[in-house]
Amino acid sequence: MKHRAEPPVSPAVVEQASEWLMLHWGGEMNDAQQRAFILWQRADAEHVRAWQRLQDLQRTLGSVPRDCAQAVLKDAPQRSRRDMLKLLSLMLVTGATGYSLHSQKPWRAGLADQHTAVGEIRRLTLEDGTRLDLDTDSAVDVLFSASHRRIRLVKGAILLESGHKPEYLQRPLIVQTAAGDIQALGTRFCVAEAQQGIRVDLYTGMLEVRPTAAAAQRLVEGQSLWFDQDRLGVITATDPNASAWSEGHLIAERQLLGQFLSQLSRYRPGMLRCDPAAAPLLITGVFPLTDTDAILAALARSLPVRVHQTTRYWVTVKRLA
């Protein structure tokens, strides 16, 4: 008799369970954290299943020594803590055969030519004069040869402004993505992973988008397009604020709070969640990405919300009653 394979736990629940495991490894939790952990388990059967899988994972790996884990959490920089949390989330995949790596992307990103950490934004100038900005938690490979200039987007988002050194102009500048290629024709444009595909925002010049298994599409200045390997979305107007991250800002113009916090969460470690009751609230402003805690404090001052922190790495924005 065959046993039906269990469906995988959602990535969001895996991250929550991993955060709780990190707290347990960190030593004794206070009373408020203990109560929050119990309530979290009771809130959904998937929470219990994810927690049980993490316990099984510890046994499968021979159990992480508690004293070693405590030393890492107390003495290592926060980046080490983030890396361990990402590793836990990466390793936990539930199914009939147990655990496996659900994606090679985190490992590929770590080995990429250029990559940024969560909250980091980096600006580079390539050998042909092209300006390349990497968004938070992003990675690229730069592959220049005698015949072409190729930039492979491994993860995240980039902003490109084509270089114009004469000796490079005969080599096409191409951004390679998981969904297909984008050839720049003297342009400034943003390429980002979005909704299981790729979004392109073109600010100046022209582009040719070439999905892996669909017809090519040209874009002109001021146009935006989503595509995946098999199809092209509808061409829309480029959002002038979409690349504000390259200048260290997040700009909202009557934006839903839920959407805004989803964007903000990419720039801070851990979990940032929005209570459904608060999600429809509208927000307008220009926010500096150098201090995400200050952004959360500003939200509490300007909107009927409160910022609830279980830990620095688990924050929920809730609507006031």
Each residue's pLDDT tens digit, 119-164? 999 999 999 999 999 999 999 999 999 899 999 999 999 999 999 8
**What is the percentage of the chain residues whose pLDDT exceeds 90?**
52
Read off the pLDDT of residues 42-74 as tens digits, 9 standing for 90 and up.
888 888 888 877 766 655 444 444 444 444 444
Give yes or no: residues 262 and 287 share one domain: yes
- Looking at residue 62, its pLDDT comes to 43
DSSP element (H, E) containing 143? strand 139-144
- Over residues 288-311, the pLDDT tens digits come to 999 999 999 999 999 999 999 877
| Residue 31 forms part of a structural domain | yes
Residues 203, 266, single domain; the answer is no
pLDDT value of residue 276: 92
**Residue 128 within any structural domain of the chain:** yes
Nearest to 95 by CA among 62, 59, 61, 49: 49
Where residue 301 sits, what CATH number does that domain have?
Answer: 3.55.50.30
In a domain, 256, yes or no: yes
For residues 273 and 231, membership in a common domain is answered with: no
Which helix (H) or strand (E) segment holds residue 46: the answer is: helix 45-60
- Residue 232 tokens, joined: 């092209």
pLDDT of residue 230: 94
For residue 299, is it within any domain? yes
Contacts 24+ apart (CB under 8 A), 164-168: 164/129, 165/128, 165/129, 168/127, 168/128, 168/129
CA torsion angle for 230, 204, 137, 197 (degrees, to 10)?
Answer: -10
Same domain, 30 and 56: yes
Q: Which residue did the predictor score with more confidence, 76 or 246?
A: 246
Residues 119 and 221 reside in one and the same domain: yes
Any domain includes 97: no
Other Cβ atoms less than 10 A from the Cβ of 313: the count is 19
pLDDT of residue 123: 95
Tell me the pLDDT band of 312, cut-offs 50, 70 and 90.
confident
Domain finish residue from 193, 208, 237: 237
The answer to whether residue 267 sits within a structural domain is yes
pLDDT for position 58: 57
Domain endpoint, select from 208, 237, 266: 237
Domain termination residue (choose one: 204, 237, 270): 237
216 and 119 in a single domain? The answer is yes
- If one counts every other C-beta atom within 10 angstroms of the C-beta of residue 267, the result is 21
Per-residue pLDDT reduced to its tens digit, 10-35: 767 777 877 787 777 666 678 888 88
Same domain (yes/no): 163, 265: no
- For residue 58, give the amino acid letter: Q
Regarding whether 120 and 229 lie in a shared domain, the answer is yes
Give domain status of residue 108, yes or no.
no
Q: Is there a single domain that holds both residue 185 and residue 274?
A: no
pLDDT, tens digit, for every residue of 202-255?
999 999 999 999 999 999 999 999 999 999 999 999 988 889 999 999 999 999
Do 25 and 126 belong to one domain? no
Query: Mean of the per-residue pLDDT values for the chain?
Result: 82
Q: How far apart are CA 127 and CA 109, in angstroms?
A: 22
Total domains in the chain come to 3
Q: How far is CA 173 from the centre of its chain?
A: 25
Tell whether 208 and 160 lie within a shared domain. yes
Of residues 249 and 85, which shows the higher confidence score? 249
**Range of the structural domain that residue 76 is part of:** 11-91
Q: What is the DSSP letter of 277?
A: T
Residue type, 170: Q
**Residues 127, 214 share a domain:** yes
134: number of Cβ within 10 Å? 25
Nearest to 34 by CA among 44, 20, 19: 20
pLDDT at 169: 87
pTM for the whole structure:
0.68
Does position 93 have pLDDT exceeding 70, yes or no?
no
- The answer to the question of residue 221 being in a domain is yes
